[in-house]
Structure 1
Amino acid sequence: MTLATITRVGGPTTVVEFGGWRLLTDPTFDPPGRRYGFGWGTSSRKLTGPAIPVAGLGAVDVVLLTHDHHGDNLDDAGRALLADVGTVVTTTSGARRLGRGARGLRAWETTRLSHPGRPDIEITATPCRHGPPLSTVLVGEVIGFALRWEGQRNGAFWCTGDTVLHRGVLAVADRVRVGTVLLHLGGVRFPITGPIRYSMTARQALRLVDAVRPHVAIPVHYEGWQHFRESPESVERAFADRPEVRWLPLGHPTTVTV
C-alpha cells in the first residue's frame, strides 16, 4: 500500500508528500485584501489568507505550477519562494518567463524527476483550457499534471489545473488511469465578460469524475477569491452523495491511499 499526505493550504495550493518527496501546487501565500488584475479588464480580490504561512511551510522539492500569469495561482509570496525550490514544472511559456531552469511542458509531454532513495516521478502535462473555445491566446497557457511513481495501487495522481470542461480534459479518461484527482473548481466568471466561464462548475466536475472514475476526488480552488461564482456551500451540496469525494480541512495533513 502506498500512501500520500495532502495538505490543503487554500485556493489551488496544496502540499503533497510521498516517498520522501514534498511537492507544492500553485503557491499562493499573500495575505488577503489585495486586488489582482488578470488581464483584459478582469480582476479579483483575495478574500482569505493561506492556512499555512510561508515561514511554516518547510522545505519543498518540486513546485507544480499550472500557470504563472494569474495571481490566484502564483502570487508575490509564492513567486519569491520559487528561488528556494529545486525544480519547477510549468507551461512552456511560463518556463521562459520564470527562467532559473524551470521545466516547461506542453499537453501530453512528460518529464521525469529522480532523487537517491526516492521513487522516480513521471510527470505528464494534461490539457487545460482556461476559458471558452479559442480563448488561450487571450487567457494564456495552462496545464494540469498527472504523476506516476512506482508502488501506486489505484492509479496516477492528477491535478486538473484551472480549466473548463472540454474535449481535451475529458481525454484524460482515455489516456490515464487516475487514482486521486485534485479538482480545480469555482465556476469563475467576471462582470465584464458576462456568462462566460473560466473554470469548472461543480456540476461539470461531476461529469469529469464520472468519466475518469478516480478512487479519490478532492475539490480545491473554490474558496477565498471574489471571482468564484459558486459558494463553498453549493460545491459541497453538489458533491454530497459522492463516496469518492474527500473534503480536506484547511491546514491539516490528510492521508490518502494512492
Structure 2
Amino acid sequence: MPAPASQPPVRLVLDTSDPRPPVKLEYAQTQQVAPIPLPHELKVHPTHPGGENALLTFVGTATTLIEWRGLRLMTDPNFLNAADTVHLIPGVKSKRLTNPSLPLNQVPPVHFILLSHYHEDHFDKLVEDRLRRHIPIITNSHAERHLTTSQYKHDPYTAVTALATWQTANITAGEAALDITAMPAKHVRPGVREIINNVLHVLPPTNGWMLELKGDPPYRIYITGGTIMYEDLHDIPDKYPHIDLMLLYLGGTSLPDPKLPLLTTTMDANRGIALMNMVKPDVTIPIHYDDYDAFRSPLEDFQHKVMHAGLEDRVVYLSRGGQYSFKV
C-alpha cells in the first residue's frame, strides 16, 4: 500500500565552513580518558568498486560518520567506554562492552547530527552534556522536546529540527545537497503492548531515516534506526524501490535482560535477513550488534544467516573504526 501522506518539507541551509569541533570549547581543549583509536580498515563495494567519492566510518553502537562533498554528519552519538552503563527503561540499565573507535573530543567538525531517538545508548549523558548547543540535530518530536525545553534542560539545544514519519528535510550544505526523510520505526509492536507503552512512557518513539544524496542519480542510504519488524516497514520498498546502502541496526535488544527477554526492541539476525529480502538494498552494513549486554543476537548469528541465504556479496562488515568508501 502507498505510504501515508507526509507533512510539508523542511528546508535547512548548513554551513560546512565552520571549523569548530562538535563539543563545547572547554571539552575540546581537555584530554578525555579513552582508548587509543582502533586502526582503520577501508572497504569498498564488494562487487562493483570504483569512483569512490564518499566515506562512511563506523565508530561503534549506532554511531557513524558520513562524509560527502565537504559535508559530515553523525548518527546516534554514543561515546561511552566499556563498563559504563546506560539507563534503558525504569529500573533497567545496560553495561557497555566495547569502546568507541575514538573519543568524543577527537571527533572532527560535524555539520549536523541524525538522532533516531532519545535513548542513552544512542545519545548518552556524556554526549548530551558536552555537545555544542548550536549544533544542528534532526530527530523526532519526542527527542526535540527533551533537548530544547527548559522543563528538561537548564541549558537547552537551540538548533533541533523534528520530523514526523515520512516528512522530509531538504538540506543544502556548501556543495552538498540531500534530502532526509523520516522512516517508520517502532520499539514495540502495535497492539496492547504499544498502548501500555504509550501510557507509561517506558520506551521512547523512534525513527529510521532515508538519505538521498543528490548525485546523478541520487544515492539512497536507508538507516533503519532501532526498530522491530512490523507492517509499516513494507511501505519503504513501495516508495523507494532502489536503495543503495542500508545501515541495519541489529542486536535483538532484550528487556529487561537477555536471560529474561520479555520484550525485544530491535531486530535480531532472522529479522535482519527478512528486512534485507524485503527492502533489497544493494549493500547492507550491520551496526548496533555487540556493544551492550542487553544485545541478545550477536553479529555471528547474522553472518551465519547471510551465508545460508547466499547474500555474502551484498553485505560489508566493518569493525569499529572501519570505513566504507562508496560512489555517489
Q: Provide the TM-score with structure 1 as the length reference.
A: 0.92
Given candidates 186, 210, 222, the residue that maps to 1:129 is 186
Question: Are residues 2 and 123 of structure 1, via their aligned partners in 2, closer, same or farther at CA, if it must alter by over 3 Å?
Answer: farther
Question: Equivalent residue for 1:212?
Answer: 279
Question: Does the CA contact (< 8 Å) of 2:256 and 2:263 recur in 1?
Answer: no
Any unmatched runs of 5+ in structure 1? none
- Give the letter for the 2:286 counterpart: P
Question: Does the CA contact (< 8 Å) of 2:61 and 2:78 recur in 1?
Answer: yes
Question: Equivalent residue for 2:304?
Answer: 237
The 2-side partners of 1:113 and 1:81 are apart by 25
Question: Does the CA contact (< 8 Å) of 1:22 and 1:60 recur in 2?
Answer: yes
Question: Equivalent residue for 1:66?
Answer: 116
Given candidates 60, 72, 87, the residue that maps to 2:136 is 87
| % same residue | 27
Report how far residue 85 of structure 1 moved.
6.1
- Give the letter for the 2:132 counterpart: A
Question: Equivalent residue for 1:188?
Answer: 253
Question: Does the CA contact (< 8 Å) of 2:244 and 2:281 recur in 1?
Answer: yes
Question: Equivalent residue for 1:16?
Answer: 66
Question: Equivalent residue for 1:250?
Answer: 320
Question: Are residues 128 and 152 of structure 1, via their aligned partners in 2, closer, same or farther at CA, if it must alter by over 3 Å?
Answer: farther
The 2-side partners of 1:154 and 1:148 are apart by 6
Any unmatched runs of 5+ in structure 2? 1-50, 149-157
The 1-side partners of 2:272 and 2:53 are apart by 25
The 2-side partners of 1:56 and 1:124 are apart by 29
Question: Are residues 248 and 153 of structure 1, via their aligned partners in 2, closer, same or farther at CA, if it must alter by over 3 Å?
Answer: farther
Question: Are residues 34 and 141 of structure 1, via their aligned partners in 2, closer, same or farther at CA, if it must alter by over 3 Å?
Answer: same
Report how far residue 79 of structure 1 moved.
1.9
The 2-side partners of 1:163 and 1:102 are apart by 22
RMSD over equivalenced CA pairs, Å: 1.9
Tell which has more relative contact order, 1 or 2 (C-alpha 8 A, sep 6+).
2
Question: Does the CA contact (< 8 Å) of 1:154 and 1:179 recur in 2?
Answer: no
Tell me if 1:42 matches 2:92: yes
- Give the letter for the 1:236 counterpart: Q
The 2-side partners of 1:162 and 1:10 are apart by 14
Given candidates 268, 273, 284, the residue that maps to 1:201 is 268
Report how far residue 60 of structure 1 moved.
0.4
Question: Does the CA contact (< 8 Å) of 1:60 and 1:85 recur in 2?
Answer: no
SS at match of 1:187: strand
The 2-side partners of 1:126 and 1:150 are apart by 18
The 2-side partners of 1:159 and 1:152 are apart by 21
Question: Are residues 231 and 165 of structure 1, via their aligned partners in 2, closer, same or farther at CA, if it must alter by over 3 Å?
Answer: same
Report how far residue 2 of structure 1 moved.
6.2
The 2-side partners of 1:186 and 1:85 are apart by 32
Report how far residue 78 of structure 1 moved.
2.2
Question: Are residues 114 and 209 of structure 1, via their aligned partners in 2, closer, same or farther at CA, if it must alter by over 3 Å?
Answer: same
SS at match of 1:178: coil
Report how far residue 133 of structure 1 moved.
2.3
Question: Equivalent residue for 2:204?
Answer: 140
SS at match of 2:210: strand
Aligned residues: 256
Which stretch has the larger CA shift, 10-19 or 240-249?
240-249
The 1-side partners of 2:64 and 2:56 are apart by 7
Question: Equivalent residue for 2:160?
Answer: 102
SS at match of 1:77: helix
SS at match of 1:200: coil
The 2-side partners of 1:249 and 1:49 are apart by 11
The 2-side partners of 1:7 and 1:31 are apart by 18
Report how far residue 81 of structure 1 moved.
4.6
- State the structure with more CA Rg: 2
